[in-house]
């Protein structure tokens, strides 16, 4: 066992972009996820159950991909255990697709929620986004070759180098989506995060805010380059992030 941990330590030290722990009992999913992450330059370790994950976490990781349906311990419980001692980013990966389950997972301290089956490329994009945010502040986010700039600190947005006046709610929606590229945010999630859990209006209020946002940042609101509607679910950000 000690030899195993030594091998893991050496692999972790060799990771160029960061160290990722995959907690997943389905071997095929773990192997595919590992392959994509290693191709991206990450050092990856894999735990097939909660007990192994707890031991491996002592080695230190930059992000955890956590399956919720483990053979020995519920992923939600493991998430709470991790969160008591660490602020490492946690992305829940699970077959539980119910919206209430997603909200519950985020409430337990997870930073993101991916439903199986998922796109490995999208998962890598989410990992990249979370690690960019945790490693260093990004005062200005640039998209589509500088066509859209978001100054996070000053709450300013420029479209084609021209200042755009957004309401506080519009800015929150844009930033929330832009920080989670390709991640679908439901109307309910947007309401809870942007307007607050005690908001008593209709979820469709978000649609009106998004419509106004598109009028201000899109060249053609009917063919958006940034905020795309995912019919039956909500919205996602599709702008291409420029290198920092």
Q: pLDDT tens for residues 102-126? A: 676 677 778 888 888 888 888 998 8
Q: How many whole angstroms separate alpha carbon 133 and alpha carbon 19?
A: 15
What is the pLDDT confidence band of residue 196, given thresholds at 50, 70 and 90? low
Peptide bond just before 108 cis, omega within 30 deg? no
Kindly report the length of the chain. Answer: 244
CB count within 10 Å of CB 213 equals 25
Percent of the chain with pLDDT over 70: 83
**Ranked by mean pLDDT, which of 176-180, 189-193, 213-217 comes out on top?**
213-217
Whether residue 18 is predicted with pLDDT greater than 80 in this model: the reply is yes
Q: Quick check: 70 and 23 in contact, CB under 8 A? A: yes
| Structural domains for the chain | 2-135 (3.40.50.2300), 140-237 (1.10.10.10)
User: Measured between alpha carbons, how far is residue 213 from residues 132, 206, 217, 222 in Å?
Assistant: 25, 10, 6, 12
Beta partners for residue 148, in sequence order = 143, 159
Whether residue 4 is predicted with pLDDT greater than 80 in this model: the reply is no
Q: How many whole angstroms separate alpha carbon 200 and alpha carbon 228?
A: 25
Whether residue 223 is predicted with pLDDT greater than 90 in this model: the reply is yes
Q: What is the pLDDT of residues 27-62, one digit of tens each?
A: 999 999 999 999 998 999 999 999 999 888 888 888
Q: What is the pLDDT of residue 12?
A: 44
**Ranked by mean pLDDT, which of 3-12, 60-69, 124-133 comes out on top?**
60-69
Q: Comparing 160-174, 180-194, 218-232, which segment has the lowest mean pLDDT?
A: 180-194
What is the pLDDT confidence band of residue 97, given thresholds at 50, 70 and 90? low
Q: How many whole angstroms separate alpha carbon 106 and alpha carbon 180?
A: 14
């Amino acid at each position: 066992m000690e030899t195993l941990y030594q091998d893991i330590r050496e692999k972790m030290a060799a990771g160029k972009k960061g160290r990722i722990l995959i907690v997943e009992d389905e071997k095929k999913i773990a192997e595919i996820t590992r392959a994509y992450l290693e191709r991206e330059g990450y050092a990856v370790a894999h735990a097939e159950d909660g007990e192994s994950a707890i031991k491996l976490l002592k080695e230190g990781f930059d992000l955890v991909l956590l399956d919720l349906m483990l053979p020995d311990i519920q992923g939600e419980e493991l998430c709470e255990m991790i969160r008591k001692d660490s602020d490492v980013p946690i992305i829940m990966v699970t077959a539980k697709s119910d919206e209430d389950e997603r909200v519950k997972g985020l409430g337990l301290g997870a930073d993101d929620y991916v439903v199986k089956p998922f796109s490995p490329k999208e998962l890598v994009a989410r990992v990249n986004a979370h690690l960019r945010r945790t490693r260093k502040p990004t005062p200005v986010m640039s998209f589509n070759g500088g066509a859209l700039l978001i100054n996070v600190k000053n709450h300013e947005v420029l479209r084609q180098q021209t200042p755009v006046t957004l309401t506080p709610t519009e800015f929150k929606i844009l930033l929330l989506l832009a920080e989670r590229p390709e991640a679908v945010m439901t109307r309910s999630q947007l309401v809870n995060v942007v307007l607050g859990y005690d908001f008593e209006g209709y979820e469709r209020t978000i649609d009106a805010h998004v419509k106004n946002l598109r009028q201000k940042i899109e060249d053609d609101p009917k063919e958006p380059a940034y905020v795309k509607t995912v019919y039956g679910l909500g919205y996602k950000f599709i702008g291409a992030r420029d290198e920092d």
